Amino acid sequence: MSVHGHKNFTAWEWEITCKPAFDAETGKDVKKEDATPKKLVGRTLMWWEDGKIVRNHDYVQAKEV
């Protein structure tokens, strides 16, 4: 989803499902077939000047699938 409140500002809402090759609980690498699927949900806020991004903030949270 993309929201344009002003020509100099954009907010994007997004989600990604992935299988990280790292287990945050154990601190160890895991094989692809052993990886647990995770869903990342996030927001990206961008400020624009002259057609270029001049400031960007990303916010993300991991969720179990």
pLDDT value, residue 2: 61
Contact 62, 38 (CB under 8 A): yes
Nearest in space to 62 (alpha carbons), one of 39, 45, 43: 39
Domain count of the chain?
1
Those residues of the chain that have pLDDT short of 50 are none
Structural domain for 34, as ranges: 2-64
Question: In whole angstroms, how far apart are CA 59 and each of 12, 31, 40, 45?
Answer: 10, 27, 10, 9
- What are 1's two structure tokens? 């989803």
Calpha distance 18→41 (Å, rounded): 11
Q: Does the predicted TM-score (pTM) go above 0.85?
A: no
